[in-house]
């Protein structure tokens, strides 16, 4: 299918990212007066990620307890109302009872001021291509001696961040085998790109998905779609977005199991993504794509993925994942669903 080479590319991007670390010359001051020289990596889910010369890995800092920061590094700064700015960071002097004011220095004579609580995400950007990637790599395995059963799960994701758009890819692979039964495999690759519109919190984007599922008899299913979406929630505790549009779907089934090996359909596309997080400890990411067929009325396909993360130490997390695919009108003799769970360890790179 060619999915595994693409997954390997995602992994290599992650392994290469630590080679491009910058100097740790940023300044961070906390409410209790602590002053630290560090490298500010970014802000996400109410957590400011920083690294120090004398501490291994990335450290998580409570964003609400920061009173001052200074950095000449360029950051993409996003606010609750959907505004996006790019520039270096500086904290303005304010009285003790006033909200902390962050200034984004976009260019000489062009600066933007905002309250700290309004900023929901900051990502360090750079002229260097490799420094714009963030993501994670995960692996899990389960073995049972009773029926010689073995299950493997492998995943990788990365996102390339720019001022008003981002593009990313996610790969998931699951394999299950046991004595006396056929090996079951599932491979999924999703590529996406989103661009903010002039209207705040509105965006347009596209999705390109590839799926192989031996349980459903699918050799290769390709989805290409796009539409317009909106962020309904965008804060330091949750992010919810919804996109609606059109999609084209081409499905090749295993020739030995169905009389018609290829199906093409036009469909409506409803895509949702939700993330919920608690400071530096846990977070939940979930996506769902619903595709009601327009050329084959009454047929609906649904794809879902959800992952719950718990931080162990530094960049290492434990995860529990769920995946599912449903087709209410599959070809005769084939299953209309494929779903399962997996757990393992995840290593994050880039921002986190």
pLDDT digits (tens, 9 = 90+) for 178-231: 777 778 899 999 999 999 898 888 999 999 999 999 999 999 999 999 999 999
Residue with tokens 């501490």: 55
**Separation in Å, CA 251 to CA 116, 157, 171, 216, 293:** 48, 24, 19, 11, 13
Confidence band (pLDDT; 50, 70, 90) for 14?
A: very low
Residues 151 and 115 in one domain: no
* 196 located within any domain: yes
Distance between CA atoms of 98 and 115, rounded to whole angstroms?
Answer: 10
Provide the token pair at 279: 């400071």
The residue among 66, 93, 125 that closes a domain is 125
Provide the token pair at 71: 């950095």
The residue among 95, 125, 155 that closes a domain is 125
Distance between CA atoms of 280 and 352, rounded to whole angstroms?
Answer: 10
Instruction: Return the higher-pLDDT residue of 10 and 22.
Output: 22
Residues 108 and 229 in one domain: no
Residues 61 and 175 in one domain: no
DSSP letter for 295, please.
S
Residues 163 and 287 in one domain: yes
Residues 137 and 244 in one domain: yes
Averaged confidence pLDDT in the chain:
84
The pLDDT value given to residue 9:
53
Which residue, 116, 122, 121, is CA-closest to 30? 116
What are 272-317's pLDDT values in tens digits? 999 988 766 788 999 999 999 999 889 999 999 999 999 888 778 8
The set of residues, in sequence order, having a beta carbon less than 8 Å from that of 120 and lying 6+ positions away, is 43, 78, 79, 80, 234, 235, 236, 239
Q: Contact 220/210 with Cβ under 8 angstroms?
A: yes
Confidence band (pLDDT; 50, 70, 90) for 149?
A: confident
Terminal Cα distance for the chain, rounded: 31
Length of the chain, please? Answer: 352
Provide the token pair at 263: 């199906």
Provide the token pair at 293: 């067929």
* 315 located within any domain: yes
Confidence band (pLDDT; 50, 70, 90) for 17?
A: very low
DSSP letter for 199, please.
S
Provide the token pair at 58: 């990335």
* 148 located within any domain: yes
Q: What are phi and psi of 96, to 5 degrees?
A: -60, -35
Residues 120 and 218 in one domain: no
Q: What percent of the chain has pLDDT over 90?
A: 35
Helices (H) and strands (E) in the chain, counts: 1, 21
The pLDDT value given to residue 5:
53
What beta strand segments (E) does 162-201 contain?
Answer: 165-177, 184-196
At 152, which CATH number?
Answer: 2.40.160.40
Is pLDDT above 60 for 139? Answer: yes
* 258 located within any domain: yes
Distance between CA atoms of 166 and 273, rounded to whole angstroms?
Answer: 15
Is pLDDT above 60 for 21? Answer: no
pTM score over 0.85: no
Distance between CA atoms of 347 and 311, rounded to whole angstroms?
Answer: 10
Residues 134 and 118 in one domain: no
Residues 147 and 82 in one domain: no
* 289 located within any domain: yes
Residues 217 and 326 in one domain: yes
Among the ranges given (87-96, 116-125, 204-213, 317-326), the one the predictor scored with the smallest mean pLDDT: 87-96
Domain count of the chain? Answer: 2
Distance between CA atoms of 97 and 106, rounded to whole angstroms?
Answer: 28
* 212 located within any domain: yes
Which residue, 42, 72, 75, is CA-closest to 162? 75
The pLDDT value given to residue 329:
92
Burial of residue 181 (CB within 10 Å: 0-12, 13-18, 19+) is exposed
**Separation in Å, CA 237 to CA 8, 32, 201, 208, 284:** 32, 24, 17, 29, 11
Residues 207 and 279 in one domain: yes
What beta strand segments (E) does 215-336 contain?
Answer: 218-234, 238-253, 262-278, 282-292, 300-313, 316-327
What are 24-67's pLDDT values in tens digits? 889 999 988 899 999 888 888 788 888 888 777 778 888 888 88
Is pLDDT above 80 for 134? Answer: no
* 18 located within any domain: no
* 74 located within any domain: yes
Mean pLDDT of 138-156: 80
The residue among 70, 98, 125 that closes a domain is 125
Residues 272 and 302 in one domain: yes
Which residue, 121, 125, 116, 123, is CA-closest to 68? 116
Sign of torsion, CA 220 226 230 236? positive
The set of residues, in sequence order, having a beta carbon less than 8 Å from that of 285 and lying 6+ positions away, is 273, 274, 275, 306, 307, 309
Give the domain range for residue 8.
Answer: 3-13+130-349
Residues 49 and 113 in one domain: yes
DSSP letter for 330, please.
P
Distance between CA atoms of 124 and 120, rounded to whole angstroms?
Answer: 14
Is pLDDT above 70 for 147? Answer: no
Instruction: Return the higher-pLDDT residue of 131 and 344.
Output: 344
């Amino acid at each position: 299918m060619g999915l595994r080479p693409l997954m390997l590319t995602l992994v290599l991007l992650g392994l290469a990212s630590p080679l491009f670390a910058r100097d740790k010359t940023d300044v961070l001051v906390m409410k209790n007066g602590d002053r630290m020289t560090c490298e500010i990596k970014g802000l996400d889910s109410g957590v400011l990620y920083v690294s120090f010369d004398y501490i291994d890995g990335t450290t998580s800092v409570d964003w609400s307890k920061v009173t001052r920061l200074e950095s000449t590094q360029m950051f993409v700064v996003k606010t609750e109302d959907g505004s996006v700015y790019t520039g270096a960071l500086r904290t303005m002097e304010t009285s003790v009872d006033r909200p902390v004011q962050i200034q984004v220095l976009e260019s000489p004579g062009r600066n933007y001021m905002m309250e700290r609580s309004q900023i929901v995400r900051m990502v360090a950007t750079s002229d260097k291509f490799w420094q714009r990637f963030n993501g994670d790599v995960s692996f899990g395995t389960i073995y049972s001696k009773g029926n010689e059963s073995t299950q493997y799960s492998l995943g990788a994701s990365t996102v390339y961040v720019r001022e008003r758009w981002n593009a990313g890819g996610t790969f998931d692979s699951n394999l299950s085998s046991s004595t006396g039964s056929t090996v079951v495999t599932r491979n999924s690759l999703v590529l996406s790109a989103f661009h903010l519109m002039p209207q705040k919190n509105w965006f347009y984007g596209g999705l390109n998905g590839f799926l192989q599922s031996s349980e459903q008899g699918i050799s290769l299913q390709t989805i290409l779609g796009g539409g317009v979406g909106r962020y309904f929630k965008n804060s330091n505790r949750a992010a919810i977005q919804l996109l609606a549009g059109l999609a084209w779907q081409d499905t090749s089934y295993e020739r030995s199991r169905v009389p018609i090996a290829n199906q093409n359909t036009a469909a409506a596309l409803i895509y949702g993504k939700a993330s919920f997080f608690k400071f530096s400890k846990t977070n939940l990411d979930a996506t769902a794509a619903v595709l009601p067929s327009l050329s084959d009325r009454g047929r609906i396909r649904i794809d879902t993925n959800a992952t719950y993360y718990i931080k162990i130490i530094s960049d290492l997390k434990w995860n529990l994942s769920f995946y599912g695919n449903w087709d209410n009108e599959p070809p005769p003799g084939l299953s209309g669903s494929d779903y399962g769970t997996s757990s393992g360890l995840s290593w994050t790179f880039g921002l986190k």
